[in-house]
Amino acid sequence: MLHRCQGGMQRLCEEGLKRLGSVKAITQIRTATKRTSGSKTNKNDSAGRRLGPKAYEGHFVNPGQIIMRQRGTVVHPGENVGIGKDHTIFALEPGYVRFYYNPFHPLRKYVGVALKKSLTLPTPHFAPRIRRFGYEEILDSSEAEKEESRMSRKEYLQRPKLEKARQESEYQDEQRLNKLVETFKEKFDLGLSESELNTVSDRFLKVCKLFSVGSSVEEAANQVTSDHILSLRLQNTNGSLSKEDMEKQVDAYLKLVNKFDGSVSVDANGNPCEKLSFSEKQSRCNEVLKTLEETYSNRVLSDEDKTTVYSLINNPLLFTKEEQTTLLDKYLPPVLPISVKDSIVEDIDLENVPNDINIVKLFDESTGTIKTVGRKKQAYSDLSKISASSY
């Protein structure tokens, strides 16, 4: 349409020129390209976001005060400042704003808060940090007491349970202590007075407790001694015990301990026992092991034999708990190994199995086949039954 119009216009012009003869006219045609009503692509301007620093170098800021608003981390958060989810940097401590470069990240700008006017950032790498305490003392005594007794929800809810557990353990300790005093009176000829007996029993109980959490008897005994001496010393420094009294008591305690530890020791079950010398213990251990090895190994044991073996091994004086389990596993295994020949009955009538025989399938390694054999029921042992029968 436009072309046609233009064509028509041109024709007219040419005709006009022919008529006018020598007149030369230059015609420029500008068509409308801009819509008068405008378009939506041009409406993208928004108001400024008011970005930039809100506190400058050396300004005093309070905690929470905004130091910088930015898009992305134009400036990184340094010492004593935080950063928000829109990268707003704000003060965490009251102090003076410092913009600085960090030698560990030389391409970044940092802003931080120095706690003192005279300080510069970054703080030297090996210097101690300068920190603000910020908590106020409560001077009113009743307020202070109230605050001190304040509990977290967790602590409050746990309290009855903890109290119950404490009472329970106290009760048990008392029971054990009474039992120990009686044992020492009856079974051990220590020649101690009543108060000494109480001291010694208390000490023994503490040693037992430490022994049960894995320290050696000697270590535990030393620890209990040191705790006792320390408490006497502290009584002296508090003024409730004179120096002479303290020294006297320490000496008496050390003497008593020497005498007691020379004759009483702790066995594997945490009970008092006669102290054996190292060589004596060794020889008795060896004796038991020799008996076990010579008479009770590599053969099928009768029920009486099993009880004997169990009582030989279950000797808290000679063997620790760990050694006992190892030995029991060796000499009273749940099933005897196949290498014990007399536990296996080779030719067996599967139709008519005797009562004292179990039928099992064994893998023969040499031939790579599975064979069915009978095993004597005595080759199996149940530790719980044996232990029940041995008492």
Which residues, 187 to 226, sit near other proteins by CB under 8 A? 206, 209-210, 212-215, 219-220, 222-223, 225-226
- Say how far apart CA 209 and CA 213 lie, in whole Å: 7
Q: Which residues have CB under 8 Å from 254's CB, separation 6+? A: 225
* Residues 49-68 interacting with other proteins (rule: CB under 8 A): 56-57, 62-63
* Residues 267-306 interacting with other proteins (rule: CB under 8 A): 282, 285-286, 289-290, 293
- Using rule CB under 8 A, residue 335 touches other proteins: yes
Instruction: Please say which residue, 210 or 386, places its beta carbon nearer to other proteins.
Output: 210
Q: Which residues have CB under 8 Å from 306's CB, separation 6+? A: 332, 381, 386
- Using rule CB under 8 A, residue 342 touches other proteins: no
Tell me, by CB under 8 A, how many residues bind other proteins. 81
Binder of other proteins out of 66, 83, 229, 357 (CB under 8 A): 229
Strand spans (E) along 235-315: 264-266, 272-274
**Least Å distance between CB 232 and other proteins?**
10
Instruction: Please say which residue, 28 or 277, places its beta carbon nearer to other proteins.
Output: 277
Instruction: Please say which residue, 185 or 305, places its beta carbon nearer to other proteins.
Output: 305
Binder of other proteins out of 21, 103, 191, 262 (CB under 8 A): 103
Query: Contact, 323 vs 356, CB < 8 A?
Result: no
Instruction: Please say which residue, 352 or 367, places its beta carbon nearer to other proteins.
Output: 367
Binding to other proteins by CB under 8 A, coded x per residue (else -) over 349-378, reads: ----------------x-------------
**Least Å distance between CB 264 and other proteins?**
19
Omega before 124 within 30 of 0, i.e. cis: no
Name residue, tokens 């001190």: 148
**Least Å distance between CB 30 and other proteins?**
40
Q: Which residues have CB under 8 Å from 343's CB, separation 6+? A: 300, 336, 375, 376, 378, 379
Binding to other proteins by CB under 8 A, coded x per residue (else -) over 108-147, reads: -x-----xxxx-x----xxxxxxxxxxxxxx-----xx-x
Omega before 53 within 30 of 0, i.e. cis: no
Instruction: Please say which residue, 188 or 288, places its beta carbon nearer to other proteins.
Output: 288
**Least Å distance between CB 375 and other proteins?**
14
Name residue, tokens 């009856």: 186
Tokens of 195: 């108060």
Which whole-number Å values give the CA distances from 335 to 138, 313, 352, 375, 385, in the listed order? 71, 18, 23, 10, 15
Q: How many residues does the chain have?
A: 391
